[in-house]
């Protein structure tokens, strides 16, 4: 029987799982439903808050390449229950990822949510879309300072949320500011109150 996780659990991988004692556990996972094949509301919610991911491709010589992709929150957009898409912004003009995709459409997306200690693995295929102004406009954010050159559409074949073990929590500046702003506002208000009381005490002293 074929399972969704077979995209990663090849016969060689299963052989090692058997050797090291984890095959039975993963076999139960496979039988009970295994990994997801379609984009659901949980994944949509996670993507809406992500401003970064890693995009892996490989050339015809099986040489892998991983590239960081960043943008405004939610720039990795959901097209339907099987497809994601993102704008390919102008950069250093090496064109390794799109060069790889031109000869090998296998691709992989790896997302890390450090604050919530969550990592998501997405297997699939990707294709380059040139000169589709409507799609590129949909994928772009006019408030983000970057020039979109093309679009990349990613078709999901399997995805899974990995374990939280060993993920060290990290926070963005925006996340830190969201937590600390009320504290700074309170400090500012207290300082203003202290200044007001100093002026009041000074005026009372003059009257005496």
Q: What pLDDT does 34 receive?
A: 82
pLDDT-derived band at 181 (thresholds 50, 70, 90) equals very high
Same domain, yes or no, for 120 and 178? no
Averaged confidence pLDDT in the chain: 92
**Are residues 167 and 117 in contact, defined by beta-carbon separation less than 8 angstroms?**
yes
Sign of CA dihedral 169, 172, 174, 176: positive
Same domain, yes or no, for 117 and 194? no
Same domain, yes or no, for 99 and 184? no
**Are residues 126 and 84 in contact, defined by beta-carbon separation less than 8 angstroms?**
no
Same domain, yes or no, for 110 and 40? yes
Q: Model-level pTM greater than 0.75? A: yes
Range of the domain at 180: 171-208
Same domain, yes or no, for 76 and 140? yes
Q: What pLDDT does 202 receive?
A: 80
**Are residues 109 and 54 in contact, defined by beta-carbon separation less than 8 angstroms?**
yes
Same domain, yes or no, for 123 and 196? no
CATH code, 87: 2.30.110.10
Same domain, yes or no, for 50 and 122? yes
Q: How many CB atoms lie within 10 A of CB 196?
A: 10
Same domain, yes or no, for 81 and 145? yes
CA–CA distance, 116 with 163 (Å, rounded to integer) = 12
Same domain, yes or no, for 22 and 55? no
């Amino acid at each position: 029987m074929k399972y969704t996780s077979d995209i990663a659990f090849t016969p060689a991988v299963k052989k090692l799982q058997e050797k090291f004692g984890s095959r039975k556990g993963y076999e139960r996972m496979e039988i009970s439903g295994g990994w997801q094949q379609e984009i659901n509301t949980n994944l949509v919610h996670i993507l809406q808050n992500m401003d970064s991911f890693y995009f892996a491709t490989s050339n015809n010589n099986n040489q892998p390449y991983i590239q960081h992709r960043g943008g405004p929150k939610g720039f990795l957009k959901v097209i339907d229950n099987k497809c994601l898409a993102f704008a390919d912004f102008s950069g250093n003009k090496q064109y390794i990822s799109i060069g790889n995709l031109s000869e090998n459409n296998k691709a992989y997306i790896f997302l890390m949510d450090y604050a919530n200690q969550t990592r998501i693995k997405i297997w699939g295929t990707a294709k380059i879309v040139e000169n589709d102004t409507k799609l590129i406009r949909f994928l772009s954010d006019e408030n983000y300072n970057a020039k979109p050159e093309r679009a990349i559409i990613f078709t999901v074949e399997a995805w899974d949320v990995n374990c939280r073990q060993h993920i060290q929590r990290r926070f963005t500046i925006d996340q830190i500011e969201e937590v600390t702003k009320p504290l700074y506002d309170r400090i500012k208000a207290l300082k203003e109150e202290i200044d007001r009381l100093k002026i009041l005490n000074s005026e009372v002293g003059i009257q005496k």
